[in-house]
Amino acid sequence: MILVIDVGNTRIKWAWLTSSGLSNPQSIVHRGAKPKMWRAALFDTGQKPERVLISNIAGDAIGKTLHRLTKRHYGIKTQFVRAERRHQDLTNGYQDPDLLGADRWLAMIGAWTIAHAPLCVVDAGTAVTVDCVDAGGQHLGGLIAPGIHMMREALLTKTSDIAKAVELSQPSMAGALANNTIGAVSRGAVFALASMADRVVDTIIDTTGTRPRVFITGGDAGMISAVMRNRGEQVPDLVLQGLAAIAAQSR
């Protein structure tokens, strides 16, 4: 039994890989939370893995904590997975493969394992990333933008009139256009990110002549997917599936 862990900027997700496949993912917020809360959820389960694979984009501090807790609870070392030049027939498109975020690389591995066809991965979390892969498994590159909540926070903290109007607004997300400030800010962020993802997909279609399969993951996947023209498949555990693919390869 193998424990796979995806540490994002806000949440920790994890699942167990057994001979029957990957279990349903679980998650907990770690950003701003008391460490004992997520430590108990992750380690006080009564289960003991033979290996632990981790994707971590939340910094060295939490990485060191997970390494220490894994050794204490399970008596084994953690394997921190990073982007590489190649995974089987999937090729990293970055000039320096090490500089590609582990979460982006693993989400592509997860999607490629499912599709083995041209694809785009939209990961909608604290930041929103879009990465595309062609029919031969070549990563074509990607984009990164602030996520919905980060965009909203920027407007509320870097302006005065908008922040003041939000205090007087009644939250509403109905319809494409909002009739209050907080709704306008929220919908503006959602539409901006959905439009970015749509533009990338359209560009891939125009340049390759092939419509890619679109995978959408991350905590805000539902909001962005709902307004995209290019409909995609919501797969909440793409990074975990990528970790599982690497774990299965190295058994």
195 pLDDT more than 80: yes
119 pLDDT more than 50: yes
Per-residue b or e along 55-69, where b marks 16 or more CB atoms closer than 10 Å to that residue's CB: bbbbeeebbeebbeb
Q: Which residues contact 131 (CB under 8 A, 6 or more apart)?
A: 104, 107, 108, 120, 121, 123, 139, 140, 141, 142
What's the CATH number where 72 sits?
3.30.420.40
In a domain, 225, yes or no: yes
Query: What average pLDDT score do residues 74-98 get?
Result: 95
Please tell me which residue in 6, 103, 198, 220 is annotated as part of the active site. Answer: 103
Q: pLDDT digits over 46-57, tens only?
A: 888 999 999 999
96 and 127 part of one domain: yes
**Percent of the chain at pLDDT above 90?**
64
Report the C-alpha gap between 131 and 145 in whole angstroms: 12
Crossing angle of helices 181-208 and 148-158, in 10° steps, is: 130
203 and 91 part of one domain: yes
The average confidence (pLDDT) of the chain is: 89
Q: Which residue has the higher pLDDT, 238 or 42?
A: 238
Q: How confident is the model at residue 217 (pLDDT cuts 50, 70, 90)?
A: very high
In a domain, 171, yes or no: no
105 and 191 part of one domain: yes
In a domain, 251, yes or no: no
pLDDT of residue 19: 85
8 and 67 part of one domain: yes
135 and 76 part of one domain: no
Q: Is 146 left (phi over 0), alpha (psi -120 to 50) or beta?
A: beta
Picking from 80, 99, 129, the residue at the C-terminal end of a domain is 80
DSSP 170: P
110 and 229 part of one domain: yes
44 and 123 part of one domain: no
Q: How confident is the model at residue 177 (pLDDT cuts 50, 70, 90)?
A: confident
Owning domain of residue 216: 86-147+186-243
The helix/strand/coil state of 9 is coil
Lowest mean pLDDT of 85-94, 180-189, 204-213, name the range. 180-189
Q: Which residue has the higher pLDDT, 177 or 225?
A: 225
Query: What average pLDDT score do residues 125-132 get?
Result: 95
Concatenating the DSSP letter of every residue in 67-130 gives HHHHHHHHSS-EEE----SEETTEE--SSSGGGS-HHHHHHHHHHHHHH-SSEEEEEESSEEEE
pLDDT of residue 169: 54
168 pLDDT more than 50: no
Q: Is 103 a catalytic residue?
A: yes
Look at residues 106, 143, 139 and name the one whose alpha carbon lies nearest to residue 122: 143
Q: Which residue has the higher pLDDT, 47 or 130?
A: 130
75 and 44 part of one domain: yes
C-beta of residue 69 within 8 angstroms of C-beta of residue 44: no
Please, where are the H alpha helices in the chain?
35-43, 60-74, 102-115, 148-158, 161-168, 181-208, 221-227, 238-249
> Tokens in use for 15?
């699942």
pLDDT of residue 171: 53
Crossing angle of helices 35-43 and 60-74, in 10° steps, is: 40
Number of domains in the chain: 2
In a domain, 15, yes or no: yes
